[in-house]
Structure 1
Amino acid sequence: MAYVVKAFSLKKINLAPESTVEEVLQNVAMIISTPKFSVPLDRGFGLAQRFIDKPIQSAQPILISEVLDAIEEYEPRAEVENVDFMLGDRPGALIPIVEVNIIDG
């Protein structure tokens, strides 16, 4: 079953998720919402910001690559099926929307 996760959709962190699905989806939301180098004890966590100040057509493939790499590294229980985007409130702002499957194991 595929689940859709949107960046910046997480309003509060649940420290005791009731299911593996909830935990994985929360983790994916945190990964795609966090800029790399912004977490003090894990500077590699999140997305590198190489796509900033690029035209949208150039930024999208860079951001897709960063999303795939970050999720593969930090949440191996999630398998990315699709990465899409919506435009943010500010001109040129891309918000990633990721479709994932949960890997049982």
Structure 2
Amino acid sequence: MIYDVLAQPVQGIDFAPASEVAEILQNLRTIITTTKYSVPLDRDFGFDAEMLDKPMNTAQVQLQSEIIMAIKTYEPRVTVTGITITGTDSGVLIPKVQVMINDDE
């Protein structure tokens, strides 16, 4: 099954998710909305936002790469199957990540 995770600010952390899927999706949302160097005890957590001042096409490609690397590092229970990025008129990039949860075999 493929799940879509939209980069929206987390409205709160559920410390006891109802299922492993809910936990994984929450983790993914946290990863794709957190920039590197913003977490005091793990400065590498999240994605590097250095590309955000670059032209839109360049920033989109680099953001996709950063998101894939961050997910591989911090949530290895999933495989990224696709990333789409939409941009607003004000230049805000909003990624949507499609993932498939790996089986525990």
Once superposed, which parts of structure 1, at least 4 consecutive aligned residues long, lie more than 6 Å away? none
Distance 2:55 2:42 in 1: 29
Partner residue of 1:75?
75
Distance 1:25 1:5 in 2: 7
Q: Which amino acid counterpart does residue 60 of structure 1 have in structure 2?
A: Q
Partner residue of 2:98?
99
Distance 1:75 1:23 in 2: 10
Partner residue of 2:23?
23
Q: Which runs of 5+ in 1 are unaligned?
A: none
Partner residue of 2:49?
49
Distance 1:84 1:22 in 2: 21
CA positional deviation for 1:62 = 0.3
CA positional deviation for 1:87 = 2.1
Q: Which runs of 5+ in 2 are unaligned?
A: none
Distance 2:25 2:80 in 1: 11
Q: What is the percent sequence identity of the aligned residues?
A: 46
Q: Which amino acid counterpart does residue 78 of structure 2 have in structure 1?
A: A
CA contact (8 A) 1:77 1:103 kept: yes
Partner residue of 1:37?
37
TM (norm. structure 1) is 0.94
Distance 1:9 1:81 in 2: 22
**In structure 2, do the counterparts of structure 1 residues 8 and 21 end up closer, same or farther at CA, with 3 Å as the change threshold?**
same
TM (norm. structure 2) is 0.94
CA contact (8 A) 1:5 1:98 kept: yes
CA positional deviation for 1:9 = 4.8
Instruction: Say which SS state the counterpart of residue 26 (structure 2) adopts.
Output: helix
Partner residue of 1:12?
12
